[in-house]
């Protein structure tokens, strides 16, 4: 497989891959079959400092760029692992790092960087609102030095494995705001105290091992000091982190795509049918070659988006296009690999079917392909808003 000799991140890739080598396919197969949380893997990533990559150095973190953080996640997936348990802490962290008070950052960031606390849960989506975040109904009412929060969330992942959760709630009802993006606030919730004291949750079984839940909030008390930034500005803070999320997800998808490519090409060269390797057939070659070309193009867009993000420049279009292109290329690689492996692709020991299921997620989440296309049409091409 072609390697870029000018890769600026070759050392970082090697270090991450060395860690991931301790967690081969058999480990991920077992975690997937048991629907378990990859505790040992998360602990190893934490001890290596990778989960604290985006935390500033003054708080004990790595002070990495988004480009470096994306390479970490890319290599996890390229090794055959699943970086879903890692990316959440990375991008959720952004709201606290960029908009938290000095007191909040001093209190929470050092123990998170040290692995003493986990921030891997983000309560945003609701059953009735879906992607229309401005229509969420979870309401936070201020009572003196506390907020009383009531509502419901869905697709809140890793809540059972996190100490802290970032929660989006309305502090002003939708019907009382002039603009629907106003009146939303972000809160840092201590789940160690909240679960069983206003927060309950039920797991949602899914086609992949994503540790996701439905969340019920009943008179949850959150101190005012746990609100992130200004009251009513939560939607802006949320949007501020979406570009980072898109870039990180794009990198994971590229890692997935390259994993499929490496496996499929090796198998196509070794598998003999009708006295010839199946890789000699253009019906096998062309889908893999097309997927590879698309992966490399998506990779360039990922690094362009990361370059702009790290320079503090607008990158909404690039971040969204990177996620779109990478998710599509990875899914094409997954389909090409499944077709190359044939029946063996469905056998769990080969890992193709597991990664096939995991890769499909990014056509839908954290934002669907159609909504990215709508964003590009409106905000880049200047076409009328379609939603």
Dig out the tokens for 50 from the structure: 């990778």
What is the per-residue pLDDT across 296-310, written as a single tens digit (0 to 9) for each? Answer: 999 999 999 999 999
Is the whole-model pTM more than 0.85?
yes
CATH at 219: 2.40.110.10
Residues 6+ apart with CB under 8 A from 40: 23, 27
* Chain centroid, CA 372 distance in Å: 16
- Confirm whether 385 is domain-assigned: no
Beta-carbon contacts of residue 170 (< 8 Å; ≥ 6 apart): 136, 137, 138, 139, 140, 183, 184, 185
The residues, ordered by sequence, that sit 6+ positions from 54 with a Cβ below 8 Å of its Cβ are 61, 62, 64, 66, 69, 90, 93, 94, 97, 244
Does 98 share its domain with 21? yes
Q: Token digits for 240?
A: 């501020």
- Residues 327, 309, single domain; the answer is yes
Helices (H) and strands (E) in the chain, counts: 12, 10
Residue 3 within a domain: no
Q: Cα separation of 349 and 346, whole Å?
A: 9
- Beta partners for 154? 214
Short-list 247, 380, 235, CA closest to 309: 247
Q: How many separate domains does the chain show?
A: 3
Query: Minimal CA–CA distance to 217: which of 126, 154, 170, 150?
Result: 150
Express each pLDDT in 61-105 by its tens digit: 999 999 999 999 999 999 999 999 898 888 888 899 999 999 999
* Residues pairing with 165 in the sheet: 121, 189
Reference 201, options 161, 160, 148, 150; nearest CA is 160
Q: What distance in Å separates the CA atoms of residue 194 and residue 150, rounded to the nearest whole number?
A: 13
Query: Encoding tokens for residue 295?
Result: 């992966």
pLDDT tens across the length of the chain (387 residues): 555 645 889 999 999 999 999 999 999 999 999 999 999 999 999 999 999 999 999 999 999 999 999 999 999 999 999 999 898 888 888 899 999 999 999 999 999 999 999 999 999 999 999 889 999 999 999 999 999 999 999 999 999 999 999 999 999 999 999 999 999 999 999 999 999 999 999 999 999 999 999 999 999 999 999 999 999 999 999 988 899 999 999 999 999 999 999 999 999 999 999 999 999 999 999 999 999 999 999 999 999 999 999 999 999 999 999 999 999 999 999 999 999 999 999 999 999 999 999 999 999 999 999 999 999 999 999 999 998
Residues 322 and 281 in one domain: yes
CATH number at residue 320: 1.20.140.10
Are both 210 and 311 inside the same structural domain?
Answer: no
Domain hosting 369: range is: 236-380
354 and 247 co-located in one domain: yes
């Amino acid at each position: 497989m072609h390697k870029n000799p000018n890769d600026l991140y070759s050392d970082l890739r090697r270090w991450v891959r060395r860690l991931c080598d301790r967690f081969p396919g058999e480990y991920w197969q077992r975690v997937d079959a048991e629907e378990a949380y990859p505790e040992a893997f998360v602990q190893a990533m934490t001890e290596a400092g990778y989960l604290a990559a985006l935390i500033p150095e003054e708080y004990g973190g790595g002070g990495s760029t988004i480009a470096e953080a994306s390479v970490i996640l890319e290599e996890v997936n390229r090794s055959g692992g699943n970086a879903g348990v890692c990316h959440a802490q990375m991008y959720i962290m952004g709201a606290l790092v960029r908009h938290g008070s000095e007191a909040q950052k001093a209190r929470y960031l050092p123990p998170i960087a040290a692995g003493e606390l986990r921030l891997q849960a983000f309560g945003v989506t609701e059953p009735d609102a879906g992607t229309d975040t401005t229509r969420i109904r979870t309401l936070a009412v201020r009572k003196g030095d506390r907020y009383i929060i009531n509502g419901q969330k869905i697709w809140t992942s890793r809540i059972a494995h996190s100490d802290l959760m970032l929660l989006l709630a309305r502090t002003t009802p939708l019907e009382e705001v002039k603009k629907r993006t106003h009146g939303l606030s972000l809160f840092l919730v201590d789940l160690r105290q909240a679960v069983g004291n206003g927060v309950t949750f039920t797991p949602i079984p899914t086609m992949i091992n994503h540790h996701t839940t439905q969340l019920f909030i009943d008179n949850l008390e959150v101190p005012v000091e746990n609100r992130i930034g200004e009251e009513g500005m939560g939607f802006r803070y949320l949007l501020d982190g979406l570009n980072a999320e898109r870039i990180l997800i794009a990198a994971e998808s590229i890692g997935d795509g390259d994993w499929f490519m490496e496996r499929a090409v090796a198998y196509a060269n070794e598998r003999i049918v009708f006295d010839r390797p199946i890789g000699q057939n253009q019906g096998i070659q062309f889908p893999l070659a097309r997927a590879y070309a698309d992966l490399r193009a998506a990779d360039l867009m990922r690094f362009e988006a990361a370059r702009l993000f790290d320079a503090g420049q607008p990158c909404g279009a690039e971040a969204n296009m990177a996620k779109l292109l990478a998710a599509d290329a990875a899914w094409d690689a997954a389909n090409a690999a499944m077709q190359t492996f044939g029946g063996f692709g469905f056998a769990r020991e080969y890992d193709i079917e597991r990664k096939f299921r995991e890769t499909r997620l990014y056509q839908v989440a954290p934002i669907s392909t159609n909504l990215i296309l709508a964003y590009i049409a409106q905000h880049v091409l200047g076409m009328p808003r379609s939603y």
